Amino acid sequence: MGMNKRMEGGFSNPPAKSGGQECPPSVVSFGEDCFVNPYAPIDRHEHHLPHWQQGAVFYFVTWRLADSLSSTKLKAWKYERELWLRLHPEPWDEKSEEEYHERFSRKIDVWLDQGQGSCLLRDVSYSAVVAKAMLHFDGERYVVASFVVMPNHVHVLFRVMAPYRLEQTVKSWKGFSAREINRRTGKVGSLWQEDYWDRLIRNSRHFYKCLQYIRENPVKACLQENAFVLYESKEGGFSNPPAKSGGQECPPSV
């Protein structure tokens, strides 16, 4: 039996302003200045992928199981990405950033939603480990707005609290969950892909777009109930609404 944790309420998608960094009323509890300031310095560090951060703002982060994508697809993806980066040197404007994520981040998301690999996180005994790891220091080291644990990947929308940093937070989630899941399965080696994808949240419109993406991810992947863990801060508890695709129930064969 799986579980789908959904905490309803608090996010009503009000009209968002295109400029300014002030948080909308429904996320005011997360504090002021919770979105990236385009006029302030942005720290950049790089592992296999570039990562940007700017202190205690919201981030949308994705990471995946190590066996979720084929090496052939990743090789072609990396080659195309390297060519694009040569033609689009930083700093990027908003249009270039959106093009980057449309061509590269979202392509990865589409592949992940196809359900390749072991999809170990379809089992609630493992997906719950990941969910609990992300909520363990919620309100102390970071503030989680929403996340979804899919069968082979994770999306999370959250805000880091000073003095903690983005890479420290994601590393702790991945490290704890990997050790615990490997202990339960009796396996050794890498559970997660080494790196992760992240985006700085620009404004309230971008925030709600990412929130909606998380909500709809199980729907677009046509997952049945109990095959994912969906969390949103504010109210509620565990429930298991049926997953739908395009407004229709997923067919029994899915």
List the CATH number of the domain containing 20. 3.30.70.1290
Query: Is residue 163 reached through a cis peptide bond, with omega within 30 degrees of 0 on the bond before it?
Result: yes
Q: Which amino acid is at 157?
A: L
Whether residue 202 contacts residue 17, with contact meaning beta carbons closer than 8 Å, is answered with no
User: In the predicted model, what is the mean pLDDT of residues 130-139?
Assistant: 95
Residue 244: which H helix or E strand, with range?
strand 244-245
pLDDT at 99 over 70: yes
Q: State the pLDDT at residue 125.
A: 92
Query: Is residue 218 reached through a cis peptide bond, with omega within 30 degrees of 0 on the bond before it?
Result: no
Q: Which residue has the tokens 């570039």?
A: 50
Q: Give the chain's domain count.
A: 2
**Would 254 be classed as within a structural domain?**
no
| Co-location of 150 and 97 in the same domain | no
Q: State the pLDDT at residue 60.
A: 92
Whether residue 226 contacts residue 4, with contact meaning beta carbons closer than 8 Å, is answered with yes
pLDDT at 211 over 80: yes
Of residues 237 and 184, the one with the higher pLDDT is 184
Two tokens, residue 151: 């069968």
Over residues 160-195, the pLDDT tens digits come to 888 888 888 999 999 999 999 999 999 988 899 888
Q: Give the confidence band of 54 by pLDDT, cuts at 50, 70, 90.
A: very low
| Co-location of 30 and 144 in the same domain | yes
106 is in which domain, residue-wise?
A: 69-114
Q: Which amino acid is at 160?
A: V
Q: Which of 59, 93, 114 is the last residue of a domain?
A: 114
Whether residue 15 contacts residue 137, with contact meaning beta carbons closer than 8 Å, is answered with no
| Co-location of 139 and 92 in the same domain | no
Mean pLDDT over the full length of the chain: 75
- Burial environment of residue 203 by CB neighbours within 10 A (0 to 12, 13 to 18, 19 or more): buried
